[in-house]
Amino acid sequence: MAADEPVPAGADPWLALARHTPARIALGRVGASLPSAEVLRFGLAHAQARDAVHRALDLAACAGALAAATGLPAQVVQSQAPDRATYLRRPDLGRRLAPAHAATLAMASPPPDLAVIVADGLSALAVEAHALPLLVRLRRALADLHWAPLVVAGQGRVALGDEIGERLGARLALILIGERPGLSSPDSLGAYLTYAPRPGRSDAERNCVSNIRPAGLDYPRAAHTLAWLVREALQRRVTGVALKDESALRLLDGAAAAPDAEAD
Amino acid sequence: MAYQQTIGVRRYGFPDLRTLLARASPERSGDQLAGLAAASAEERMAARLALADVPLARFLDEALIPYERDAVTRLIVDGHDRAAFAPVAALTVGAFRDWLLLPSTDSACLAALAPGLTPEMVAAVSKLMRNQDLILVARKCRVVTAFRTTLGLPGRLAVRLQPNHPNDDERGILASTLDGLLYGAGDAVIGVNPASDSVATQVRLLERLDALRTRFDIPMQSCVLAHVTGTLEAIRLGAPVDLVFQSIAGTEAANASFGVTLALLDEAHAAARALGRGTVGDNLMYFETGQGSALSADAHHGVDQQTCEARAYAVARRYRPLLVNTVVGFIGPEYLYDGKQIVRAGLEDHCCGKLLGVPMGCDICYTNHAEADQDDMDVLLTLLGAAGVNFIMGVPGADDVMLNYQSTSFHDALYLRELLGLKRAPEFEAWLARMGITDADGHLAAPAAQARLAGRLAQVLG
């Protein structure tokens, strides 16, 4: 066979190496190009990731389901980003509450230990699929704490949890948010924990648990990690770099995430 | 107003050079986010008309970010070569664009000019250039560097092999590396972005990649793209460090947000040079940049993102780097909204870097929340191939499973070679032929031959 003759599609003879990595290796080639099957497989993955970014979260349905599953009241709010197009261009608006919604959040007394915020972020799919099973486990693991009402936020970024947590008077804010979809993970949920939440907190003042989904960091491990972080944060009165440095949690498989992948 | 332009009955004023440059910049979501962009299409053209009349020499008198406040400005001003600048010293920005496009302005002429140009001058002229101008001028620039391979030679294109793995698994990384080598990629560098920031991981990966190199006598350089402080520590631990990687930006404050200073880069550069590991050259710094990083760090001083990016190349050229890579679409749609903006930014960065004498490559890429897809990447890939880009990325199947974004693939590099007849780095090309991975013409070998090769190479997974 001449060197420039096309090999049959999918015929790279080192396919056995593919068991070592989720990367797209040994794809085969037609001349210099990808075989049709891989072009289509890639196209489908990208289509799913795109749909995940633009899919709207049904906020009321989400709040209803979470309330029923946890026994906590749940309310719906919106960020200052009125739509997805604005949300993508103006991250600053996704970090602040729409004024009309800000007024509906009341300071609780005594101050709650924990406010949980669920936001669409960059993947409504992730929230629809994983927020409820994770939250049920977390509620069970932290049943002794004083919880604020749940808040479900539309067009939200990570830092939106700071303003919500402050308005609720909570010691800790935990936001569960859809991460930027990867090609092989359109439904990845992220969790960010901030002590003494208030607008202006930096990313260095939060702890992040990333890639929460059955194929990544599964619910039991994610809930275990988050519950540990919540208790440590309440006890040490800090989150972020200071807490992270003293924990071994980052070493958990899948817990080390690329910071760029988050919907901050 | 220092700079003015009248169009019909409307008069546009721009208080300073910094504002003029920002208003003249092609539409870009990052400049809009920063509140620096022109308010209308006409204002943008008014700014360009005014900019065209500004003498190049004006840029030596009006710093965009004050000399006293910014180490990058000091680097630019103190390092300016007035003798090299002389041939264009009398030109305006508009006349400079015309001059760059003259056939008599050739590679030698542009290489001699580079030390006389400042980032602000090249950013300014790029704002008056169409995409075809950016391609044609960049193609005339020649920036050749070398370590164990020689990069940037005419008619050649190199590939950074990017074998990332979500957990830094050694076998996974080697599997992707072999995939790339068997596709004839890796002549720019085999460079891993580690998921972990531990120095132990960095050292472990460097040792595995160096073992691969020595076992098969590959003319290649490897790199783990960790923070420069980690690489310094790895050098102290005796790890086989070929290249020093660091992300850099165009202002002192943005670099501070990356945890780097010029003094730290000086230290790392000296430490790696002392190892003397290069064979055909001693360029050993690998920098990555990208429009929007200064704004993202709230460290842009009111300077538009494309000009900030060009200033990063002033930092880069201080170290005679082997590779400078603009990671053009990684940052997201709030800085580069769609395929059109990404394509334009990639061409600008490449041309500005080359004019400044920097060995530019490009990570032609996008994220899933940007309005872009593989078709846009094909456009930028083809245009940068035509523009003579030094290197591109090679990610298995274009899907980086660690960083979660899409770049260019080993196949994409083969496409570009096929389309434009681009060869690999000469040392690497000879090795591929010697191994039988390619034939004498650089085409990949037939599957039967590749099966034997793959079996042999896979022994390193051991």
DSSP-based three-state secondary structure for B442: coil
Query: Using CA atoms, how far apart are residues A170 and A57, in angstroms rounded to an integer?
Result: 25
Strands (DSSP E) contained in B241-312 are: 244-247, 285-289
**In this structure, which topology does domain B3-140 adopt according to CATH?**
Annexin V; domain 1 (1.10.220)
Q: What's the gap in Å between the CA of A183 and the closest CA on chain B?
A: 7
> Dmax over Cα atoms in chain B, in whole Å?
76
pLDDT for A11 equals 73
What type of residue is B192?
Answer: V
Q: What average pLDDT does this structure show over B136-162? A: 98
pLDDT on residue A203: 81
pLDDT digits (tens, 9 = 90+) for B337-361: 999 999 999 999 999 999 999 999 9
Give the model confidence (pLDDT) of A145-173 as tens digits: 999 999 999 999 999 999 999 999 999 99
Segment holding A263, helix H or strand E: none
Residue of B176, B398, B450 lying closest to A21 (CB–CB): B176
Per-residue pLDDT at A262 exceeds 70: no
Q: Which two tokens stand for residue B338?
A: 């769609």
Q: Where in chain B is the domain with CATH 1.10.220.70?
A: 3-140
**Binding residue numbers of B for substrate:** 160-162, 193, 288, 363
**Residues of chain B positioned with their CB less than 8 A from the CB of A180:** 332, 367-369, 404
Q: What is the CATH number of domain A54-252?
A: 3.40.50.11240
Dump pLDDT digits (tens) for A100-111: 999 899 888 899
- Comparing alpha-carbon positions, the chain A residue that sits nearest to B403 is A258
Q: pLDDT, tens digit, for every residue of B263-309?
A: 999 999 999 999 999 999 999 999 999 999 999 888 999 999 999 99
Q: How would DSSP label each residue in A132-177? A: HHHHHHHHHHTTTS-BPPEEEEES--TTHHHHHHHHTT-SEEEEEE
N-term to C-term CA, chain B:
70
Distance CA A16, CA A26 (A): 9
> What are the tokens at B444?
């990949």
In chain A, where the domains are located: 54-252
Give the mean model confidence (pLDDT) for residues B217-223. Answer: 98
Q: With an 8 Å Cβ cutoff, is A100 touching chain B?
A: no
Quote the pLDDT of residue B167: 87
pLDDT value of residue A7: 47
Say what the pLDDT of residue A264 is. Answer: 52
C-alpha angle with apex B194: B216 to B319, nearest 5 degrees?
80
Residues of chain B with CATH 3.20.20.70: 145-435
Question: How much is the pLDDT for B197?
Answer: 79
Mean pLDDT of B73-93: 98
Of the CA atoms within 13 Å of residue B327, those in its CB half-sphere come to: 19
SS3 at position B459: helix
Residues of A in contact with B227 (CB under 8 A): none
pLDDT band at A248 (very low <50, low <70, confident <90, very high): very low
Read off the tokens for B437: 């991975």
Distance of CA A57 to the CA centre of its chain: 14
Q: Is A47 on the interface with B (CB under 8 A)?
A: no
Residue B154's DSSP bridge partners are: none
Q: Quick one: angle between helices B41-52 and B93-101, nearest 10?
A: 80
Residue A258 has pLDDT above 50, yes or no: no
Q: Are A135 and A169 in contact (CB under 8 A)?
A: no
Nearest to B414 among A32, A256, A260 (CB): A32
User: Which residues share a beta bridge with B190?
Assistant: B161, B222
The answer to the question of whether A179 is labelled as a binding residue is yes
Tokens 């970024």, located at residue: A157
- What is the pLDDT, as a whole number, of residue A252? 39
Token pair 């648990």 is at which residue? A209
The answer to whether the CB of B164 falls within 8 A of the CB of B176 is yes
Residue A64: Cβ within 10 Å count: 14
- Give dist(CA B179, CA A246) in Å, integer: 39
Q: How many CA atoms lie within 13 A of B289 on its CB side?
A: 39
Q: How far is CA B361 from the centre of its chain?
A: 4
Residue among B173, B246, B161 at smallest CA distance from B205: B173
Is the predicted pLDDT of residue B210 greater than 60, yes or no?
A: yes
Q: Is B91 left (phi over 0), alpha (psi -120 to 50) or beta?
A: beta
Q: Report the alpha-carbon distance of residue B303 to residue B64 in Å, rounded.
A: 7
Question: What is the residue whose two structure tokens read 């808040």?
Answer: A151
Average pLDDT, chain A: 88
- Cβ separation B368–A184 shorter than 8 A: no
Band of residue A9 on the pLDDT scale cut at 50, 70, 90: low
Is the predicted pLDDT of residue B196 greater than 90, yes or no? Answer: no
The upper half-sphere exposure of residue B61, i.e. CA atoms within 13 Å in the direction of its Cβ, equals: 7
Strands (DSSP E) along chain A, which ranges? 74-78, 114-119, 150-154, 172-178, 189-195, 206-212
Contacts of A258 in chain B (CB under 8 A): 193, 195, 402-404
Q: Which helix (H) or strand (E) holds A30?
A: none
Q: Which two tokens stand for residue B367?
A: 């994220």
Condensed to tens digits (0 to 9), the pLDDT of residues B4-62 reads 999 999 999 999 999 999 999 999 999 999 999 999 999 999 999 999 999 999 999 99
Q: What percent of chain B has pLDDT over 90?
A: 94
Confidence of residue A8 (pLDDT cuts 50, 70, 90): low
The domain covering B145-435 belongs, at the CATH homologous superfamily level, to Aldolase class I (3.20.20.70)
In this predicted structure, what is the pLDDT of residue A184?
83
Q: How far apart are CA A218 and CA A221, in angstroms?
A: 6
Q: Which residue of A has its CA nearest to B448?
A: A13
Report which of residues A10 and A227 the model is more confident about.
A227
Contact B69, B142 (CB under 8 A): no
Closest CA to B395 of B334, B307, B330, B324: B330
Question: pLDDT class for B83, splitting at 50, 70, 90?
Answer: very high
Q: What is the mean pLDDT of residues B361-380?
A: 97
Q: Taking all residues of chain B, what is their mean pLDDT, rounded to a whole number?
A: 96
**pLDDT tens digits, A117-134:** 999 999 999 999 999 999
ipTM of the complex: 0.95
Q: Is the pLDDT of residue A246 over 60?
A: no
Confidence of residue B195 (pLDDT cuts 50, 70, 90): confident
